[in-house]
Amino acid sequence: MLNNLDNDLHNELEDTVLQLSDYLKTVEIVIKQTFAHQVWVKAEIRNLSTKSGHYYFELAEKDDKGKIIASCRANLWKYQASRLLKKFAQTTGMQLSRDLTVMLKVSANMHPQYGFSLTISDIDPTYTMGDLARQYTAMLDRLSGEGLTQLNKSIAMPLDLRHVIVIAPEKAAGLGDFRAEADHLQTHRACQFHYHHATFQGNHAPQEIRQAITTGMNQFNSTHQQLPDLMVIIRGGGAVGDLAYLNDYELGALVAEQPIPVWVGIGHERDRVILDEVAHRSFDTPSKVINAIIHHLRELVDDVHYYSSQIEKLSYQQLRLAQADSEQYLRQLQLASINCMNEWQQNTEQLMNDIQQNSRRQLTHAKHNSQRYLQDTQHYSQSLLKIMQNKVEIHANNLQRIAQNQLASAKQQTHFCYQQHKQLAYQQLTQVKGETEHFRHIILLQHPKNVLKQGYAIVRDEQNKIISNCQQLSAKADGKQNIQIELHDGKILGSLLKQ
């Protein structure tokens, strides 16, 4: 029957010409009759403005690809706006603003002059909180899946913090707390801070923060031709609801991909934003960030003091060991010099004795051979003379002359042999004397006077005994030990205070 009525109305109005106002009033009546009840609608706030206490919305619905598939206007009248917005802020901790997905209780309205719109009678803040939580979880899952949540955390902290880039809202209370300590560090040249400002609330906050990060890194690299040691992103104070503006994927990815550690101190203990998830370290407040920097620098100073004392201690030990080794080497050198001198002296004396004995034997043997040869020659000459005298007296004079010639030749040969043996003995004595002089020169090089000229010193006590180690020091009642230091050009008297 209703279909028949619609058909009759359609046929009746098909050829009827109406004024626009009449037609829209008819539509208004139909909408009021059909959609007089209120319904809950999910929508995204594309735009929001206020005038005279009234709030005017532009709502939209998007598909999975972000394309708008539906949109309309909505109104929140003044008499209900204060109550609903206060409830929304108390529940969510943030103000109602654009880009939020909300659950609205609405009724349809059609006005011939202003067109179609929705009237808002209630807002469900729990839906918005859930939607924000779902967006946060999805964003965190995406960053985690791309390996960005651990990327900046994997960067090793530099040993020293010389240059720190600070990103913060200008004139923020948290920045003032931070600078109270940072300026003190910078005054004492412990660390230098480079400040860049950006707003941390509103829809344009993520873009401004990204721009401040990029500008800060580029300017520092261009000026110093190197990377800074640390980046700090701090906010401090402000409404809790403003934290939602910091949950931006591109901002989180940019922070995670920085080539230096990034510390954040947003200013709230219980609430976390995406920057806390991707940063190298996350702190509750800016004051805790600067305290962590101070702690890092103090640990560095403590380490420097510790290693400096260790180096000093090891150096002193090495010096003591080197001194002990030098003293031991000097004693060994002196002992070796004395032993070498004694050994060469013994060898020289033995060699001289051997040469003298050998020379005496050779001289005795040569003399014995000469005498024997002379005796044999004389005996032979006499025998020959007698034979010749017995046989031929005519040859007596000749034989006597021959005998005398042979005797003279024998004497000459004997004298020549004696001279050869004498020259040989002299050469051997000269050689032994040269070797002895060489060994004497070597030994004298090791003499204590020559050693002193090389920079060494001899320390003696009051009894003129050489002191070669600390155990030989015997302090008096007053704790002093008188010593005598002998150098190559004189002696020095002094005293040591034994500890």
**CATH number for position 241:** 3.40.50
Q: Strand, coil or helix: what is 229? A: coil
For range 259-287, the mean pLDDT = 85
Per-residue pLDDT for 481 more than 80?
no
CA–CA dist 396, 409 (Å, integer): 20
Is residue 239 assigned to a domain?
yes
Residue 395 has a pLDDT of 62
Question: Which position has the higher pLDDT, 156 or 439?
Answer: 156
Query: Pick from 253, 219, 180, 203: which is nearest to 95 by CA?
Result: 203
Is residue 276 assigned to a domain?
yes
Residue 441 has a pLDDT of 77
CA torsion 458-462-468-469 (nearest 10°) is: -130
Residue 242 DSSP symbol: G
- Taking the mean position of all CA atoms in its chain, how far away is CA 124? 55
CA–CA dist 320, 385 (Å, integer): 95
Residue 302 has a pLDDT of 83
Query: Pick from 246, 143, 170: which is nearest to 203 by CA?
Result: 246
Average pLDDT over all residues of the chain: 81
Residue 64 has a pLDDT of 77
Query: Pick from 225, 205, 239: which is nearest to 95 by CA?
Result: 239
**CATH number for position 72:** 2.40.50.140
For range 75-98, the mean pLDDT = 83
Residue 107 has a pLDDT of 85
CA–CA dist 174, 289 (Å, integer): 11
Residue 2 has a pLDDT of 43
Residue 486 and residue 399 share a domain: no
Query: Of 225, 252, 284, which one is at a domain's C-terminal end?
Result: 284
Residue 217 has a pLDDT of 94
Residue 260 has a pLDDT of 93
Q: What is the pLDDT of residues 433-469, one digit of tens each?
A: 887 887 777 777 767 777 777 777 888 877 778 887 7
CA torsion 299-304-309-314 (nearest 10°) is: 120
Residue 363 and residue 390 share a domain: yes
Residue 167 and residue 98 share a domain: no
Query: Of 216, 249, 284, which one is at a domain's C-terminal end?
Result: 284
What percent of the chain shows pLDDT beyond 70? Answer: 88
Is residue 277 assigned to a domain?
yes
Residue 154 and residue 100 share a domain: no
| Domain assignment of residue 199, given as a range | 146-284
Query: Of 60, 93, 128, which one is at a domain's C-terminal end?
Result: 128
For range 250-267, the mean pLDDT = 91
Is residue 139 assigned to a domain?
no
Is residue 451 assigned to a domain?
no
293 contacts: CB under 8 Å, gap ≥ 6: 161, 164, 182, 185, 191, 230, 232
Is residue 3 assigned to a domain?
no
Q: What is the pLDDT of residues 387-396, one digit of tens each?
A: 766 775 666 5
CA–CA dist 155, 278 (Å, integer): 12
Residue 381 and residue 246 share a domain: no
Residue 394 has a pLDDT of 67
For range 5-26, the mean pLDDT = 67
Residue 436 and residue 464 share a domain: no
Residue 261 and residue 197 share a domain: yes
Residue 344 and residue 278 share a domain: no
Per-residue pLDDT for 181 more than 80?
yes
Residue 466 DSSP symbol: B
400 contacts: CB under 8 Å, gap ≥ 6: 385
Residue 485 and residue 350 share a domain: no
Q: Across the chain, how many H-helices and E-strands are there?
A: 11, 13
The model carries a pTM of 0.49
| Reported confidence tier of residue 242, pLDDT bands at 50, 70, 90 | low
What percent of the chain shows pLDDT beyond 90? Answer: 16
Residue 229 has a pLDDT of 92
Is residue 12 assigned to a domain?
no
Residue 117 and residue 61 share a domain: yes
Amino acid at 388: M
Residue 310 and residue 278 share a domain: no
Residue 433 and residue 311 share a domain: yes
Question: Which position has the higher pLDDT, 319 or 30?
Answer: 319
Question: Which position has the higher pLDDT, 415 or 150?
Answer: 150
Question: Which position has the higher pLDDT, 344 or 187?
Answer: 187
| Reported confidence tier of residue 15, pLDDT bands at 50, 70, 90 | low
Structure tokens at 254: 């940019």
| Reported confidence tier of residue 209, pLDDT bands at 50, 70, 90 | very high
Residue 223 has a pLDDT of 92
Domain count, the chain: 4
Per-residue pLDDT for 83 more than 80?
yes
Residue 392 has a pLDDT of 59
For range 361-380, the mean pLDDT = 77
Amino acid at 223: T
Is residue 135 assigned to a domain?
no
- Say if CB 358 and CB 365 are below 8 A apart: no
For helices 286-391 and 396-445, what crossing angle results, to 10°?
170
Per-residue pLDDT for 248 more than 80?
yes
